């Protein structure tokens, strides 16, 4: 249902939301975001990756009927697909929406499934960015599991962001201020099932061809697009711009 009253401009709403929630805990930020008319209709986007279970569990405790969008790029690990199905059932999530690339466009642009080798940005655009934009059309905002410690491009992350692509959509990052220990403590304290690849040295898990194990002492996202000048898949913004082909 569309919002029935005039909202302030996007940037103004985001600034007010960040001011209001500056010192709040992650659970409070998430709970308020789900009900705040300044945010509007909202969904969670989850990779069901190495740390996703913490935020997914938090959502299931507050409201398990909130839509959860899962992008199946058709190049994911089998373990991720199995984990997604298992975790959705375990947490009782009732509206998990599995989004896949457009078949015709994939056939025309990546018929051999080798685009990731020659142009990883174009591959991410085809298999992640475009399906996500379609999935988000009914929503005014979306929830992510991004955190400040996950790399240089995320160090200034706030709880609320303006999407910045002309959609007037708000992005909510309830775990922005958490550190690695906060995530692990939450998983342990709530006895949550871990992604099976975590025990095998994968600390940030994306598509199979573009994800490698992370050595001790490396940044947790060092295993994503290793050896390439790329550290975001394209569904998020860096300095106000979407990273895409």
Return the percent helix, strand and coil in the chain, to nearest 5.
40, 10, 50
- What's the mean pLDDT in 76-94? 97
Domain that holds residue 238: 10-242
**Is position 3 within any domain?**
no
For position 1, what pLDDT does the model report?
41
> CA dihedral defined by 14, 20, 21, 22, rounded to 10 degrees?
90
Query: What element of type H or E holds 237?
Result: strand 237-238
* Beta strands 68-71; 42-45: pairing state: parallel
**Is position 143 within any domain?**
yes
Residue 34 has pLDDT above 80, yes or no: yes
Catalytic position from the list 123, 124, 210, 233: 233
CATH of the domain at 181: 3.40.50.620
For position 238, what pLDDT does the model report?
42
Residue 243 has pLDDT above 50, yes or no: no
pLDDT category at 6 given cuts 50, 70, 90 is low
pLDDT-wise least confident of 76-90, 99-113, 153-167: 153-167
**Is position 1 within any domain?**
no
**Is position 179 within any domain?**
yes
- What's the mean pLDDT in 187-200? 96
- What's the mean pLDDT in 10-39? 93
Highest-scoring range by mean pLDDT, 61-70, 158-167, 212-221: 61-70
pLDDT category at 204 given cuts 50, 70, 90 is confident
Check if 210 is active-site: no
Residue 240 has pLDDT above 50, yes or no: no
For position 110, what pLDDT does the model report?
94
For position 112, what pLDDT does the model report?
93
For 80, 120, 122, 173, 177, the CA distances from 115, given in Å and listed in that order, are 21, 7, 7, 31, 35
> CA dihedral defined by 16, 142, 240, 49, rounded to 10 degrees?
130
Residue that the structure tokens 């082909």 belong to? 245
**Is position 173 within any domain?**
yes
For position 235, what pLDDT does the model report?
54
Q: In this predicted model, what pLDDT tens digit does every residue of 8-19 receive, in sequence order?
A: 788 889 999 999
User: How many separate domains does the chain show?
Assistant: 1
Which tokens in the block code for residue 58? 């938090």
DSSP assignments along 148-171, one per residue: GGG-GGGTT--SEEE--SSS--EE
- What's the mean pLDDT in 212-227? 81
pTM score, two decimals?
0.86
For position 237, what pLDDT does the model report?
45
**Is position 229 within any domain?**
yes
pLDDT-wise least confident of 3-7, 57-61, 85-89, 225-229: 3-7
Q: How far apart are CA 184 and CA 190, in angstroms?
A: 10
**Is position 5 within any domain?**
no
Question: CB of 74 within 8 A of CB of 101?
Answer: yes
**Among residues of the chain, what percentage have pLDDT more than 90?**
67
**Is position 71 within any domain?**
yes
Residue that the structure tokens 């174009």 belong to? 122
**Among residues of the chain, what percentage have pLDDT more than 70?**
85
pLDDT category at 72 given cuts 50, 70, 90 is very high
């Amino acid at each position: 249902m569309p919002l029935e009253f005039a909202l302030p401009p996007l940037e103004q709403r985001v600034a007010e939301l960040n001011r209001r929630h500056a010192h709040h805990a992650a659970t409070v930020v998430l709970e308020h975001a789900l009900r705040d008319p300044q945010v509007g209709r909202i969904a969670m986007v989850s990779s069901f990756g190495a740390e996703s279970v913490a935020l997914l569990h938090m959502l299931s405790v507050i409201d398990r009927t909130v839509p959860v969008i899962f992008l199946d790029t058709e190049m994911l690990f089998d373990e991720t697909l199995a984990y997604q199905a298992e975790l959705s059932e375990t947490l009782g999530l009732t509206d998990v929406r599995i989004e896949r690339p457009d078949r015709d466009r994939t056939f025309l642009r990546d018929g051999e499934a080798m685009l990731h080798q020659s142009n990883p940005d174009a591959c991410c655009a085809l298999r992640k960015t475009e399906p996500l934009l379609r999935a988000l059309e009914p929503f005014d905002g979306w929830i992510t599991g991004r955190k400040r410690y996950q790399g240089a491009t995320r160090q200034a992350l706030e709880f609320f962001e303006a999407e910045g692509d002309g959609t007037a959509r708000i992005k909510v990052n309830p775990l922005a201020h958490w550190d690695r220990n906060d995530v692990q403590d939450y998983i342990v304290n709530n006895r949550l099932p871990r992604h099976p690849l975590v025990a095998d040295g994968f600390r940030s898990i994306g598509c199979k061809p573009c994800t490698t194990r992370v050595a001790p002492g490396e940044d947790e996202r060092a295993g994503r697009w290793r050896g390439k000048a790329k550290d975001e898949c394209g569904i998020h913004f860096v300095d106000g711009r979407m990273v895409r082909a």
